[in-house]
Structure 1
Amino acid sequence: MARKPRVKKSEAVEVRVSYDEKQAFMEAVDRRSTTASAVVREAMLLFIANGRLRRRNIMVSATLAATAAGMIFLGMAAKSSGDDMTGLSEFNRIDTNIDRVLSEHEFRTYMNTARHALSPESGAAAFGAAIGTLFAPYGDVIPEDFTLAARSNPDAVDQACWNSIESSWSNHIGRRFTAMDVDADTLVSFAEFRDREITQRRRSFDRLDRNASGALDQDEMVPSDDNQSTFNQYPSHITVCFGEQPLPQSELVEPARIQQAAETMMRFYDLDRNEEVSWDEYRAAFD
């Protein structure tokens, strides 16, 4: 007899619950050695089949089940309907133990390795974000086809090069986490995450959007003179992978040098291929 194929669980439904409701629900789940998602799915199936939740057929009370239905452990209370919940879905994807704060381990797990970020499995937007962090500022010394080769045939890249790239990526993740952790308690709250990650991304987008059109064209993917980064030495992964290189004569990275990288980044940020990058596409690159 043929085995029934598994249905891929690709969708999520988000509801807001109070902190006390979520804690009570998770404690009930733990006592019964099950998972939040299993209970929620059972509640949904019972409601679909019967039009109501039957107390005797579910592992939690009808009140908790009704609150939990569709939660898929994404619930987080808002103090009021006016609260800024920007970034909540991303925060909840990172918060795998559902304790309403992010540890550095959770953040590093979410960011994954550089090799994964540059691989086809990570998606085009994540690839664009990775090359923007690791390679775009140093485009004058990077072979034009290197990033695409690393994506399509990573085994062709020398292992010492990969090790150095991973070290730089790990340092980048650590710096991002430290910057988010404003109160230096080694944990990042949703407010800290939203204020640092989302607000900084928006500011970066607005700086690039020099004509204030609400979208970035290819020319705007290249920073203007006052937005260029400066450096007095190449990072270790650049020298390990491509050898010792003379620094540009100017401390500023020349726009012409960045243009090739900008064209590549445009291809990966522009998800709908309309020749401009919207705010939503720009944000998606960091997901």
Structure 2
Amino acid sequence: MEDSLRRFLAEDLPFGDITTEATTPQTESRAVIIAREAMVIAGIDEAVFLFNECGVRAYPAIPDGEWADPNQTVLTMTGPVHGILAAERTVLNLMGRMSGIATATSRFGLVIGSAMPGARIAGTRKTAPGLRFFDKKAIRIGGGEPHRYSLSDAILIKDNHLAIAGIEEAIRRAKAFSAFRVIECEVENPGDAIIAASAGVDILLLDNMTPETVKRTIELLKEAGLRERVTIELSGGITPKNAGSYAGCEVDLVSSGWLTHSVRNADLSLDIKKAEKIVRI
């Protein structure tokens, strides 16, 4: 995490902040970061680290995971104004994205819980390159499941794997590969769900199924005595706008790339409050 954060700063400061250096005397100042809308706060630890890297002391006013009201202070800083301004945009970009993801996750989770009681919201690997750790952390802060962090975490057999090996052979190979990895298999129709569950997968990923097909698949799994053997995950274009159409579907997880690939940054701003003294440079 720390190496990534230093790279983010370096991207914005390859040769220093020439505007601040040219126009602003080096003063000891106080500043605050303010939430401009209601949001679940995420990225506090990252913000503190980034400011510290620039010689600024930062103090959280609200912890990660709590809701902030509009115009509420979430972080205060004291230190050299050049350091505050050097870190400003990197901090706001990262906190804004993370808080946006956490807020979306929290709100989406409520929609999922209402439509499909007991189900939890989960992310996907559809994250911005270089930001996956932070995107996934934001999902957790918002109350969701991060799902796989990488291709190395769990075995997820998808359509292109099945096009080569077929369901039963792919699952057999996965079981032979490791006795300790979770095995998940993507299926697109009830028949394949029965085959995959019978072959012993841990998680069934019902991909791009209509609500009616999801319900029919679960009924068939119950009739076959397989429902309790598997965790059922629903995926494929699920958003807060259409999640309600899946009301009554007895699934365990709903995974959605929408949480990260369509995130809207939460609105945060940094305000300098007071310049207290001039420091010789």
The normalised TM-score by structure 2 is 0.27
Q: Which has the higher contact order (CA 8 A, sep 6+)?
A: 2
- Structure with higher strand content: 2
The normalised TM-score by structure 1 is 0.26
- Structure with higher helix content: 1
